[in-house]
């Protein structure tokens, strides 16, 4: 099973998107493994996150997805800010700004 990718501030947006996919596949794979009971876990609640090694492994991947997603959102917001600054400075016109903003909306999911 793969180790979770450790996010860094230097990842580009495309790399971050790809990594989220890899992390999701790894989390799903970990949750589809045979049970891996943790001996002497000390848990009184009995939650899987406390008593099963594969569940703990999946949680690490899912936590990284949250970190990567926050970084992508920060990068997206920064990109939007730069676009509006360029527009305000007259470096790009209204039509170009509209085209770029439309492209940033991304694919529309089917209903």
Q: For 80-93, how does the pLDDT look when each residue is reduced to its tens digit (9 = 90+)?
A: 999 999 999 999 99
Count of the separate structural domains present in the chain: 1
| Domain hosting residue 29, numbered range | 13-104
Cα atoms in the 13 Å half-sphere on the side-chain side of 107: 3
- Note whether residue 40 is domain-resident: yes
- Note whether residue 109 is domain-resident: no
- Note whether residue 4 is domain-resident: no
pTM score, whole prediction: 0.75
- Note whether residue 60 is domain-resident: yes
- Note whether residue 5 is domain-resident: no
- Note whether residue 57 is domain-resident: yes
Question: Which tokens go with 18?
Answer: 């790809």
- Note whether residue 36 is domain-resident: yes
What is the mean pLDDT of the segment spanning 36-51? 87
- Note whether residue 25 is domain-resident: yes
What is the mean pLDDT of the segment spanning 4-10? 63
Phi, psi torsion values for 37, nearest 5 degrees: -60, 140
Q: What's the chain's average pLDDT?
A: 87
Give pLDDT, residue 90. 97
The Cα 27–Cα 5 span in angstroms is 12
């Amino acid at each position: 099973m793969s180790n979770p990718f450790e996010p860094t501030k230097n990842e580009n947006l495309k790399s971050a998107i790809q990594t989220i996919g890899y992390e999701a596949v790894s989390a799903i794979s970990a949750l589809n493994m045979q049970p891996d009971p943790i001996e002497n876990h000390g848990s009184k609640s009995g939650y899987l996150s406390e008593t099963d090694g594969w569940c703990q492994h999946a949680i690490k991947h899912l936590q990284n997805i949250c970190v990567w997603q926050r970084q992508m959102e920060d990068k997206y917001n920064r990109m939007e800010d730069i676009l509006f600054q360029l527009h305000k400075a007259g470096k790009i016109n209204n039509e170009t700004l509209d085209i770029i903003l439309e492209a940033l909306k991304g694919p529309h999911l089917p209903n």
